[in-house]
Amino acid sequence: MGQLRPSGPAHAPPAAAARRWLRHDARFDLSASLVVFLVAIPLSVGIAAASGAPVMAGLIAAVIGGVVAGSLGGSPLQVSGPAAGLTVVVAGLISQFGWAVTCAITVLAGVLQVALGACRIGRAALAISPTVVNAMLAGIGVTIVLGQLHVLTGGAAEASAWENVRDLPAAVAGLDPAAAATGLLVIGMLVLWPRMPARLRGVPGPLVAIVLVTGASVLLVLDVARVSLPDDPLSAIHLPQLPDGEWFAFAVGVATMTIIASVESLLSAVSVDKLASGHRSDLNRELIGQGSANMASGLLGGLPVTGVIVRSSTNVRAGARTRASAVLHGIWVLLFTVLLVGLVEQVPLAALAGLLIVMGVKLVRPADVAVARKHGDLHVYLVTLAGVVLLDLLQGVLIGLAVSLLGMVRRVVWARVRVRTGDETDEDGRPLCAVIVEGTLSFLSVPRLSRVLTQVPDGSAVHLELVVDYLDHAAYEHLSAWQRQHEGTGGTVAVDEIGDIPHSRSGLPRWFSPWSHWQDTERPLIPAQRSLHDHVLRPLVTGAQEYQRTGAPALRPHLRKLAGSQQPHAVFLTCADSRIVPNVITASGPGDLFTIRNVGNLVPDPGPVGDQSVHAGVLYAVRALRVPTLVVCGHSGCGGMAALLADRRTMPEGDPMGQWLRWGEPSLTALRAGHPIADHAAEAGWSEVDRLAMVNVAVQLEKLRAIPEVAASDIRLVGLFFDIPSGALLMLDNDRLTPLADTALTG
């Protein structure tokens, strides 16, 4: 993630593109492709062995995935090949139909993927609940581990997870010491590898573990089962064939493989986009590329192909720039398969089992469980995982989707209604009562709403909080009728509409709205407010009470973590203008930004005649907090910049504003000298005040760079400009301001 650069042209002539690749990207793609190739070899062989397929099928799929999917896919940095996520499916299909029919299923799944991509429904796969997908992968991981534990002991995996669990004690009792030692050594090396020095970690851990353990087993002449390959690699090519019967099961197999391969590939592509900022995948094209690869792999006797996040993330982190890296990795696998296939036959099966056990364990991620629990989807996760392990992958996913859908329907139609009463009374002696309604308030919730409202004492002063995202007509009519009825008993009802509902006074969420948008200034003050006798304080007090009621409980766990120390990710120097809210425009919260504000976001010169405040803040952030980023943010319609243009010298002598604005004179000089930012802004039609504000950002950045402590650190300086009317945030990039939506982080 190095320098910033805007996205280049979408298309270029082939010759020009080739010259540009050779000049700018070739060295990065070549080195990345070699790293991915070294990772792909042991993984491809291990996945084939775990699937019960010919070992050569894993290498064929790696070649096809790299060359075909890499060339045709819509995610340039994604690397495709055999995936652990399909291991269970392929193993089941092979046991039911045999290898040749499984190849036919792979071909037809590829045809369906191409058809789905041509119909442009690639993004529809993203509608699947992430919890179900994570649980599916966890279930696959558990199934892989249970099966490979038998291989680790020197035996063979059973057909189902239940059988693997049932027979595991007998397998442990009769384990082969040599096989177990081989597999455990691989596991130990893979667990310890991330703790090795950075220089060693540059070599892929799986490759190191498999090579060293294989070498040791050969030198020690261990009697362990090893990988078996045909003498002629070309003899591994099997033409697919259709089944003699069981057509329904055959169709289910095609559908299962299509869905899982597509979802895994698309989710992997989305993950790669997050890793490689600035790259945006064409998911429909990615489906076409994956489908083409599966058609070719099935025809040549290879395993199914998907986009694989392990190899893809390795590709990104190794510095790949273009799709050439994925294609080259496939070519290296092909050369290895043809020229060095004899080396693969020396690999112990128990060593591959150790590798697959580690891979399976990594598919069960505690972070996914924590996220599912946080969002109230833990039951979906557990049900899906259990279904995948105990039944099969397709049934487990379908059960998980059904449970997720039922949960979504419940949330849509369910509203939480509470009544809170106490001993307090208002000035007229009426008991105070609060009714809180949260969620979606529809006609389905009216019976429960009616039951809870009967608990409200007659004649009480009710504060009705509607924290809802939807209020249908039936619920609204019921609340209105109840309000009239309650007021008829001598009570009062003050309605506080917090959610974005049809009858609210503002369409903006309360947290992002100014007080004037959501406060009812005509509402009577509660007793605590009346004692202030000052309507000027009403917005502040009401806002503070709103925070205490709804904001503080949500923030409290996070604030507890921040109580002892702070670790902000940026210093944010911006104008004191009330329209600029740094945490809102950067979607950040407490502890994220170390904010410094003044008129015009200026950096004064330090010294006896200067101003030390900005320097003090910056130096504290650099020295004590070690903040990695320093941001200067200007904005449109800046009053300080307007005063500079109007000539501050016309202000009364000794006027504090005139004295302060002298630190902006270098920006005014740069504007009049024809600063590049000003020229670009003028072409875009920006006003002179806004052009000066943009130039001022660049000038203040240079002043910050001149501070010795800043220059000596590795802190990154960033310039931003906030356009108030549009709400757009622009970033300074090579002497021009570029919308953040169009700015790519690369390197």
- The CA-to-CA distance between both ends of the chain, in Å, stands at 4
H or E segment and range at residue 631: strand 629-635
Rounded-to-integer distance, Cα 17 and Cα 19, Å: 5
Q: How far is CA 647 from the centre of its chain?
A: 49
CA distances, 152 to each of 96, 524, 562, 725 (Å): 25, 74, 46, 65
As a whole number of angstroms, the distance between CA 388 and CA 406 comes to 19
The burial class, CB within 10 Å (0-12 / 13-18 / 19+), for 367 is exposed
CB-side neighbour CA atoms (13 Å) of 451: 8
What DSSP letter does each residue of 511-528 carry, written as one string?
GGS-HHHH--TTSPPPHH
Among candidate residues 616, 632, 640, 745, the one with its CA nearest the CA of residue 692: 640
User: What's 226's DSSP letter?
Assistant: B
Question: How far is residue 588's CA from residue 567's CA, in Å, rounded to a whole number?
Answer: 13
Helix (H) or strand (E) holding 728: strand 728-732
606, 583 in Cβ contact below 8 A?
Answer: no
Q: What span, in angstroms and rounded, lies between the C-alpha atoms of 612 and 662?
A: 15
Q: Does 635 carry a binding-site annotation?
A: yes
Q: What are phi and psi of 523, to 5 degrees?
A: -70, 135
Interacting residues of 658 by C-beta distance below 8 A, sequence separation 6+: 648, 649, 651, 652
H helices, E strands: number in the chain: 34, 14
**CA–CA distance, 249 with 257 (Å, rounded to integer):** 12
CA torsion sign for 574, 578, 583, 586 is: negative
Cβ atoms 241, 104 nearer than 8 A = yes
CA distance 331 to 64: 9
Q: Which residues of 312-331 are buried (b: 16+ CB within 10 A; e: fewer)?
A: bbbbbebbbbbbbbbbbbbe
The token pair that represents 633 in the structure block? 């943010």
Asked whether residue 103 is marked as a ligand-binding residue, the answer is: no
Is 733 known as a binding-site position?
A: no
Q: For residue 103, give both structure tokens.
A: 């190849």
The three-class DSSP label of residue 450 is: helix
DSSP string, 157-173: --SSHHHHHHHHHHHHH
The alpha carbon of 422 is separated from its chain's Cα centroid by a whole number of angstroms, namely 44
Sequence-ordered alpha helix ranges (H) in 623-673? 639-645, 656-661, 665-672
Which sign, positive or negative, has the C-alpha torsion 546, 547, 549, 554? positive
From residue 539, alpha-carbon distances to 527, 542, 590 in Å are 15, 5, 22
Is 119 labelled a binding residue? no
Q: Which long-range contacts (CB under 8 A, 24 or more apart) does 690-694 make?
A: 690/636, 690/637, 690/638, 690/641, 690/723, 692/638, 692/641, 692/644, 692/645, 692/667, 692/668, 693/634, 693/635, 693/636, 693/638, 693/641, 693/721, 694/634, 694/721, 694/737
Annotated binding-site residue numbers for Zn(2+): 575, 577, 635, 638
Annotated binding-site residue numbers: 575, 577, 635, 638
